[in-house]
Amino acid sequence: MPKSTVRLAAVPGAAVAVALALTACGSSSSGGSANRASGGSSASNAAAKVSGGAAQVGVTLTSAGGCELDHASAPAGPVTFTITNKDATAITEIELQSDQRILGEKENLAPGLAPVKFTATLSGGKYQLYCPGADKENVPFTVTGKAAAAASGSTATVLAEGTKGYAKFVNQNAADMVTAIGKLKAAVDKGDVAAAKKAYAGARPFYEKIESDVGGFVLPGFKPGDNAGNLDYLIDMRQSNLDPKVGWHGFHAVEKDLWQGGKITPQTKKYAKELHTNVGKLAKLVKGVTYKPEDLANGAASLLEEVQTNKIKGEEEKYSHTDLSDFASNVEGAQQAFAFLKPGLQKIDPALTARVSKQFTNVTNGLTPYRDGASLGGFKPWTAQLRKTDAAKLSKKVQALQDPLSQIAQKVATAG
């Protein structure tokens, strides 16, 4: 169903307009707790002392939003960071970065747990300690001595490769969708209800996999707020959310005729023809889109939102009950986006990458018992009865994936 975001289809390459400050340096936005002590570094100017072959730097995390170093500099060579989370609930990890590359990190920094250490061998230059969730997230750290060699193979390059791969996936999927809807149209034109139902179920997954990327396109000549020019509205609007001025179009209008009406009328044929035309337009528009890494992350997150708000409740496929097929397709689309981010994300945050991977596996495994080749869409019908017993179980699995997944955008956006 349509998103509130609006994209102007006429401007290829600029479709996704989320402005991001790539270097979050010094943007200290306090969490609405006006009386909170301002965080930040109270590091002494003296360089860290070398002990046991490494310069020793202490890092303390506090609930006052602090991520504090006891020394702001160290001589070149091995540097050991000892991190104590005193009582900071919000700060669970820190990273040592240089030019957006991660040189060392610690995760799971729960308050009260024993201090943890990591050591990195550092050449002279400027570094940052990145403490997501702290009032001052980037704390500068200087290493004196021999200069560092220039970095190569940056994380940003790897991520950019991933976004190109993802764009190909979306384009291919959109083209396949046009073909699948062509079959639906042909079956409807022939007046064959059984074949049309099968074609409907066969076409839906292509849309559901890329739903988050195709929402918000406005046809040329229409204003952004006008649903008559909103392709997502024209293709995927459900009866419950109709705009009376524009009326019903698209997939679900066909769905209702096939399942509830049980017959194909001249109006059904009109719906199917128009749907075919509109997805053709959509496939052309999608080709012009380029993606930023955070678009993939946000898109994956919004596909999971789709699962939670529409599929779990059985609202998407009210008549055909093929919601679980949509569910699986949303998850697959999200998993694709994640897979294209993975090589870069692995460099930025291997632990988060592992968590998200594990949760994707959990969700996919959770769907396995519902697979049924004999049913339309390849899954058991998501009936009211089945929802009553199983919806909460499935929803919880998705929720456990949503949370770590929602952390990705920020990671890949700041990776420069």
Partner 1 sequence: MGALAVGASWGMDASRSHPADAADKDAIDLTTQYPFYDQAEPAGIRTPPQRYSIFMTFDLVDGSLRTDLQSLLARWTAASAQLMRAEPIGQVQPSSDAGVGQDTGEALGLDAASLTVTIGLGPSIFDDRFGLADKRPALLRRLPKLPSDNLTPETSDGDLSVQVCADDPQVCYHAIRNLARMARDTVQTRWTVMGFGRASAGKGQQTPRNLFGFKDGTRNISTGADFDKYVWLKDADWMTGGTYQVVRKIEMNIETWDADRVSDQEHIFGRGKTHGEPLSGSVEHDTPRFAAKGKDGEAIIAPTSHIALAAHENNGGIKILRRGYNYTDGINEFGQLDAGLLFVCYQNDPAHFVQLQRKLGAADLLNEYVKHVGSGLFAIPPSPKTGHYIGEQLFT
* Shortest separation between residue 409's beta carbon and partner 1, angstroms: 4
Q: Does 374 bind partner 1 (CB under 8 A)?
A: no
Query: Are 40 and 135 spatial neighbours (Cβ–Cβ below 8 Å)?
Result: yes
CB nearer partner 1, residue 152 or residue 389 = 389
Q: Does 404 bind partner 1 (CB under 8 A)?
A: yes
Q: State how far the Cα of 201 lies from the Cα of 241, in Å rounded to an integer.
A: 22
Contact track, partner 1, 289-308, x by CB under 8 A: -----x--xx----------
Q: Does 402 bind partner 1 (CB under 8 A)?
A: yes
| Options 11, 17, 27, 146; binder of partner 1; rule CB under 8 A | 27
Stretch that binds partner 1, among 157-165, 236-244, 323-331, 403-411 (CB under 8 A): 403-411
CB nearer partner 1, residue 22 or residue 46 = 22
**Number of residues engaging partner 1 in binding (CB under 8 A):** 51
Q: How many CB atoms lie within 10 A of CB 189?
A: 14
Backbone angles phi, psi at 237, to 5 degrees: -70, 140
Q: Does 33 bind partner 1 (CB under 8 A)?
A: yes
For the CA atoms of 154, 158, 164, 170, the dihedral, rounded to the nearest 10 degrees, stands at -140
For residue 358 the two structure tokens come to 């594990």
Q: State how far the Cα of 180 lies from the Cα of 203, in Å rounded to an integer.
A: 5
* Shortest separation between residue 33's beta carbon and partner 1, angstroms: 5
Q: Does 407 bind partner 1 (CB under 8 A)?
A: yes
Q: Does 92 bind partner 1 (CB under 8 A)?
A: yes
Q: State how far the Cα of 57 lies from the Cα of 354, in Å rounded to an integer.
A: 28
* Shortest separation between residue 342's beta carbon and partner 1, angstroms: 18
Query: Are 158 and 166 spatial neighbours (Cβ–Cβ below 8 Å)?
Result: no
Q: State how far the Cα of 286 lies from the Cα of 174, in Å rounded to an integer.
A: 8
CB nearer partner 1, residue 205 or residue 293 = 293
* Shortest separation between residue 154's beta carbon and partner 1, angstroms: 19
| Options 49, 126, 146, 396; binder of partner 1; rule CB under 8 A | 396
Q: Does 28 bind partner 1 (CB under 8 A)?
A: yes
Residue 218 sits at the vertex; the CA angle it makes with 217 and 221, to the nearest 5 degrees, is 155
What Cα–Cα distance (Å) separates residue 63 from each residue in 31, 67, 86, 135? 11, 9, 8, 10
Q: Does 108 bind partner 1 (CB under 8 A)?
A: yes
Among candidates 73, 55, 59, which has minimal Cα distance to 120? 55
What Cα–Cα distance (Å) separates residue 254 from each residue in 64, 200, 239, 273, 276? 56, 8, 11, 10, 12
Q: Does 372 bind partner 1 (CB under 8 A)?
A: no
CB nearer partner 1, residue 95 or residue 317 = 95
CB nearer partner 1, residue 109 or residue 283 = 109
Q: Does 406 bind partner 1 (CB under 8 A)?
A: yes
Q: State how far the Cα of 259 lies from the Cα of 318, in Å rounded to an integer.
A: 9
Query: Are 279 and 232 spatial neighbours (Cβ–Cβ below 8 Å)?
Result: no
Residue type, 258: L
Beta bridge mates, 141: 127
* Shortest separation between residue 113's beta carbon and partner 1, angstroms: 5
363-369: long-range contacts at Cβ-Cβ below 8 A with a sequence spacing of 24 or more? 363/331, 363/397, 363/398, 363/401, 364/331, 364/335, 366/393, 366/394, 366/397, 367/324, 367/327, 367/328, 367/331, 367/394
Q: Give residues 120-149 in contact with partner 1 (rule: CB under 8 A).
A: 132-133, 135, 137
CB nearer partner 1, residue 35 or residue 51 = 35
Q: Does 88 bind partner 1 (CB under 8 A)?
A: yes
CB nearer partner 1, residue 65 or residue 104 = 65
Stretch that binds partner 1, among 6-14, 21-29, 215-223, 260-268 (CB under 8 A): 21-29
Q: Does 21 bind partner 1 (CB under 8 A)?
A: yes
* Shortest separation between residue 394's beta carbon and partner 1, angstroms: 12
* Shortest separation between residue 404's beta carbon and partner 1, angstroms: 5
Residue type, 33: S
Element containing residue 47 per DSSP (H, E): strand 44-47
| Options 14, 17, 18, 147; binder of partner 1; rule CB under 8 A | 18
| Options 30, 123, 277, 308; binder of partner 1; rule CB under 8 A | 30
List interacting residues with partner 1 (CB under 8 A).
18-21, 24, 27-33, 36, 63, 65, 86-92, 108, 110-113, 132-133, 135, 137, 294, 297-298, 355, 358-359, 362, 396, 399-404, 406-407, 409-410, 413-414
